[in-house]
């Protein structure tokens, strides 16, 4: 397995390339280019979230604890009607990422499981695409972010496979074929991964055509669920106001 530094270098390289190419193609502007590069770098590190080696995992979670709630506030404007409300929403999401999500990942994943697979790389790309835009104008940026994320992730898998080749002994190590795989030994996990990929892939496809997931939701279920979520948040807000 390639080490953390190798993956960091690979991720930075791919992220920078994605930023330069998307910038050159006019898909993103100068302010957005560093984000494209960062997402690619993150993709280069993300598959090892399943490892028990604590340092890289801690670094990635620290990064996610800051980035995920910040992007969520931007992605869902109703979360920040006021500065105070935004701050509370940020804290709640950050503690979910750092607490339950981090624990679940550590408990539920095994090293070189589904995180080291081709469907996982595509899921990561779709998530990047879906989270990085909320307007039709955002599609070029979303595409750049999604491609950078998937390319960084894919590079990690390739590096892991390259490191599985024992060049001096000219033979393959036992780990060969466990990173760039299409499935894992557990059928259930494999089916769940492809199910998730089908849903996110479908949403990404609709997104490329200009339809937001929120729009599909409203078409299918009416705006009741969104109103419900907003109502719940309103109620929580008034509760907070009465306590503070």
Residues at the interface with Zn ion (CB under 5 A): 47-48, 160
3-state SS, 75-135, equals HCHHHHCCHHHHHHHHHHHHHHHHHHHHHHHHHHCCCCCCCCEHHHHHHHHHHHHHHCCCC
Closest contact distance (angstroms) between CB of 150 and Zn ion is 16
What is each CA distance from 71 to 21, 82, 113, 118, 156, in whole angstroms?
A: 23, 17, 28, 25, 24
Taking the CA atoms of 144, 149, 152 and 157 in sequence, report the sign of the dihedral they define.
negative
Closest contact distance (angstroms) between CB of 4 and Zn ion is 9
Closest contact distance (angstroms) between CB of 156 and Zn ion is 6
Q: Which CB atom, from 176 or from 236, has the smaller least distance to Zn ion? A: 176
Q: Which CB atom, from 66 or from 158, has the smaller least distance to Zn ion? A: 158
Contact of 8 with 59, CB cutoff 8 Å: no
Closest contact distance (angstroms) between CB of 179 and Zn ion is 6
Q: Which CB atom, from 11 or from 125, has the smaller least distance to Zn ion? A: 11
Closest contact distance (angstroms) between CB of 227 and Zn ion is 43
Q: Which CB atom, from 85 or from 160, has the smaller least distance to Zn ion? A: 160
Question: CB-side exposure of 78: number of CA atoms within 13 Å?
Answer: 12
Cα(71)–Cα(66) distance, integer angstroms: 9
Contact of 130 with 75, CB cutoff 8 Å: no
How many other C-beta atoms lie within 10 A of the C-beta of residue 227? 11
Contact of 197 with 121, CB cutoff 8 Å: no
Closest contact distance (angstroms) between CB of 116 and Zn ion is 6
172 membership: H or E segment, kind and range: strand 171-172
Q: Which CB atom, from 74 or from 176, has the smaller least distance to Zn ion? A: 176
Q: Which CB atom, from 32 or from 48, has the smaller least distance to Zn ion? A: 48
Q: Which tokens in the block code for residue 7?
A: 């993956």
Q: Which CB atom, from 10 or from 128, has the smaller least distance to Zn ion? A: 10
Closest contact distance (angstroms) between CB of 1 and Zn ion is 6
Cα(18)–Cα(39) distance, integer angstroms: 10
């Amino acid at each position: 397995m390639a080490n953390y530094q190798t993956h960091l270098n690979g991720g930075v390289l791919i992220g920078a390339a994605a930023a330069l190419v998307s910038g050159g193609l006019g898909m993103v502007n100068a302010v957005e280019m560093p984000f494209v590069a960062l997402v690619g770098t993150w993709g280069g590190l993300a598959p090892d979230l399943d490892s028990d080696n604590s340092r890289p995992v801690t670094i990635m979670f620290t990064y996610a604890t800051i980035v995920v709630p910040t992007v969520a506030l931007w992605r869902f404007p109703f979360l920040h009607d006021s500065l105070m409300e935004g701050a509370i929403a940020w804290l709640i999401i950050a503690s979910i990422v750092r607490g339950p999500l981090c624990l679940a990942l550590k408990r539920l994943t095994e090293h070189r499981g589904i995180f080291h697979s081709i469907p996982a790389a595509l899921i990561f790309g779709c998530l990047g695409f879906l989270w990085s835009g909320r307007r039709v104008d955002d599609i070029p940026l979303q595409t750049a972010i999604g491609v950078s994320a998937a390319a960084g992730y894919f590079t990690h898998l390739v590096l892991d496979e390259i490191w599985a080749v024992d060049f001096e002994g000219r033979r393959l190590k036992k780990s060969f074929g466990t990173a760039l795989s299409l499935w894992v030994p557990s059928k259930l996990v494999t089916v769940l991964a492809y199910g998730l990929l089908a849903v996110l892939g479908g949403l990404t496809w609709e997104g490329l055509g200009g339809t937001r997931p929120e729009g599909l939701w409203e078409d299918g279920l009416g705006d009741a669920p969104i109103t419900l979520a907003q109502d719940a948040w309103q109620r929580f807000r008034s509760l907070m106001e009465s306590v503070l």
